Structure formats: C-alpha cells, structure tokens
Structure 1
C-alpha cells in the first residue's frame, strides 16, 4: 500500500480548504431567492402587482401576504404563516403599516433582510400614532380619516386619491378608494416589540411627497436603522405602484447583498 507523504497530505488539505472558501464566497454572492411583500393599511396585496411582475421576470420567487387588518396580532400571524412557507432565506418587504409588521416578523430566522417602502420602522414600545404626532403628516389637520361604529378606520372616498395616490391615474386611485380594506384602529396604537432592524440589514425608500407618513419621519426611521436609503422624488404614499422600477430595484439590491 502506497503511503502519502506529509507534503502531499498538506497540499491536499490546503486545496480542500481553498475550494471550501471559494464555495462559501460563491454562496454568499448568490442572491436570496424568496421575497415576501406585505401591504399596509387601507389597501390589499393587489397594489404590489407592478413590483411583483418585475421581480418574477427577474427570476425571484415572490409571495404576496394578504393579512386581515383586524388586529396587529392577527396581521403578524398571517405574515408569519407566509414566511414559514418559504423554502429558505427570505427578504421581507413592507409598505406603510406593513413596515410595523415586518419589523416584528423579521425576527424569524428565515428573514435575512428588511425593505421598508414609505413604511413605519418602529422601535420597541413605539406606536404609529405617537410617532405621527412627532412628525405630523399632511392630512393631520383634516378629517379625512373616518371611523366605523365597530372601530375600523378608512380614508374619505373623495379624498383618497389626493391623500394616498396623487401620482396614480385618477380612475385607478378612485377604484382603490372604493376597494380599500378597512383597518382596525387598534393597529395604529399597538406598541412595537423587539425590532428586527436592530440585528438585520435594512433598505428604505422615502416617498418625498407622501401625505400619509411625513417624509421626515420616513427619513428618521431610515437613518436610525442605518438603512440603505433611496428617495423617490415626487412620489406619493403609493410609491410602490407609481414607481415600481425604483422599488423593485431596491428590493433586488437587498436580495443581492443580504447574506443568508
């Protein structure tokens, strides 16, 4: 039997280690395949269609979470259910109130990156209502937010286009006004738990003409979370619909740079 020399054993081990290192680098450079999109208040998942189409065309596996907007707990559970269905590392994307949801669900081990699209990135104990008082939005002095007898909020139908979707075609904005998902008032006063953005990388798109969330509040969220940030000039709160290319590009940046 031929016995290998110490030198050949050393060279073989070095080659194996080198190949392992190269394989690890290749894996780290591989984009995350799974993306979960989370809508905010007063809308549903259909608004993600333009972004969804771009991401799917570019080869991503995209899921749109439809949560009920009945309570913060219900919404977190619904989104967590979709994350559980993913087959590996996942980028979690939230718009508006959806940001509060992904901040919680993002603690899941499958989530490797968070993307906030004109969204709330709350710190522990914070609420959207309290932060909104620190940074009042453009509709804070109006009576555009209405409330049903059983505690659900919605935007005035006539004002919805100007408030929520000023940069969308009027007919589209009017349809969305009449198709809006009423949202439990309690979700806006639900204190946040441990935020995932403190331990995981994040990306943020500021909508500079947002009437629902003050753009300065969005900037504060992004700066505090050390998010990779873009500003979409002239964008309304419906930035994910009116500027899908910019939003999709930011999501793909997260998928490329988040390390599984």
Structure 2
C-alpha cells in the first residue's frame, strides 16, 4: 500500500506540473510572451484548413483559437474576429491568410493584439479598399472566380487545384474544393477604418508558388507594412501545405514581441 501511495502522489505531482506548463498567460501579464494565437482564414475556405498549424502550435504550448468567418462582409468578419480576441486571457499573435489579412488589419487594433502575421495575405491601409490593392498587378490566369447572381463568388471548380492548392494532396484538394465557402464580393470594396500594421509589428509568409496573387503584389505589400518576410515554395494553400513554416513564423513573432517588451 505504501508503494502505491507513493506512485499515486508522483502521478498527481506530474499531472499538476503539466497543467501548470499549459496554463495561459494571466490577465494583465502583458510583459510575458504571448501564449494566445488567433487564426483567421481567408475567402473560399473555413477554419478547418488551419488544423495542422493548430496541432503544431498547441504542441508548443500555445492556446489557439480559430475564427470562423462568415465571409458575408468585412464588418461581419471583423466582428467574428473581435469576439475571438475578447475571449483571450492575455496577449495575442493575430494571424490571417489571404482575405484574412484584410480582416486582421482592421481587427488587429484590438488592445490584446501584440503582433500580426500575414500568410500570403492582403494588407490594405486606412481609407483604402481591398480591391485597390490589386491596381497595377496581374492576377495569375489559374485563379478564376465565378460570381453568382447574389454577389457571392466561388473559385471555378476546374481551376481550383491550379489556382488555390497546387501542392496539396489530391484528397486535400478535393476536400477544399468541395467545402468552399463563398465570399460576398462586395466585401472587397469596403473602405478600411483602421490599419493595425501601422502600430503593431508584422510578419509575412510569402508562398512563392502562389497563383492567387501576383508575386510582386505580395512582396510590395509586405515591404509597405515593414513585415519580416519568410518565403516558402508553396501554393496559396500554404496555411495547409506548409504548416511547420507558418507555425515557426508565428512562434518567432511571439518570442520577438516578448523580448521587445522586456
């Protein structure tokens, strides 16, 4: 019985230590490294594409929240992101893919946000629309959007792999294609009221095989916002196909803003 009691006590201590290591940052401890990450998906997708990034970050001890954007308007997507940010118990690294970059640009002025990570993402300025970012650039021919009569757009089915996820497995391409979430195309014409990158440090992951954007456009946006850039050979679905690279950049951002706060 004595031996069993000792083993039970050791197990209890081990479980307690593990729980403490996963304990999130307490409110007000803004000087600590952000342990909260909020992931914002882009158009034509939903939050499930972040699963591998989620798994990587949670294994590192981060508390990860995935926003499910309705893609009905910029205001609705920003509201969904702000709800997620309000629930966090400490500093946050806010991450956006593609259209999600516009969303985090507007929503990232939230006081809990310490850093922004743009994953092949858009980054408009105050007074600018997302559509205006495309001026002077050519969208690759592989990326084709069919807009329905109600104003919501889908990536054309036969173009989906080439335009969105050329480096994904056939099974993942089929799932992404068949689970598309259409976006209200009018959202691209909404003028931004805030640009969080003007006051928050930014990082950018640029997928060098992205066929949704002109590569010059991605690099010019990153340069304008002063982002620290990581390039990786990947399609527009880099958030799914290169999760380790994306997670490493998020982890770097968390460490950097922690060091800067000391």
TM-score, reference length from structure 1:
0.85
Residue in structure 2 matched with residue 113 of structure 1 by the alignment: 115
CA offset digits 1:86-141 (Å, max 9, x no partner):
001111000000000000111011101000000001111222222223222203xx
Q: Tell me, what secondary structure is at the counterpart of 1:134?
A: coil
Structure 1 counterpart SS, 2:103: helix
Structure 1 stretch 48-57 or stretch 117-126: which is displaced more? 117-126
Question: After superposition, what is the alpha-carbon deviation per residue over 1:162-207, rounded to whole angstroms, capped at 9, x for unaligned?
Answer: 1000010122112211100011011111122220101110100111
Distance in 2, matches of 1:137 and 1:27, equals 41
Cross-structure match for 1:248: 247
Moved over 4 A (4+): none
Gap change, CA 1:171 and 1:27, over 3 Å in 2? closer
Q: Does 1:159 align with 2:159?
A: yes
SS of corresponding position for 2:135: helix
In the TM superposition, residue 59 of structure 1 has moved relative to its aligned partner by: 0.3
Aligned-partner Cα distance in 2 for 1:194–1:80: 14
Deviation at 1:27, TM superposition (A): 7.6
**C-alpha distance in structure 2 between counterparts of 1:170 and 1:134, whole Å:** 34
Aligned residue for 1:35, secondary structure, equals: strand
Q: Deviations over 1:7-41 (max 9, x none)?
A: xxxxxxxxxxxxxxxxxxx984x421100000000
Q: Secondary structure at the match of 2:153?
A: strand
Q: 2:47 aligns with which of 45, 48, 70?
A: 45
Partner of 1:149: 149
The C-alpha deviation readout for 1:200-245, integer Å capped at 9, x for no partner, is 1010011111111222111111111111111112x11001111111
Give the Cα–Cα distance (whole angstroms) in 2 for the partners of residues 177 and 232 of structure 1: 23
| Residues 63 and 238 (structure 1), Cα distance of their counterparts in 2 relative to 1, 3 Å cut | same
Superposition pairs of residues 212-251 of structure 1, within 5 angstroms = 212-233=212-233, 235-251=234-250
Q: When the two structures are aligned, how many residues end up with a matched partner? A: 231
Would you say the 8 A contact 2:210–2:236 is kept in 1?
Answer: yes
8 Å contact 2:119–2:205 — kept in the other structure?
Answer: yes
Aligned residues: CA RMSD = 1.6
Larger Rg: 1
**If the length of structure 2 is used for normalisation, what is the TM-score?**
0.85
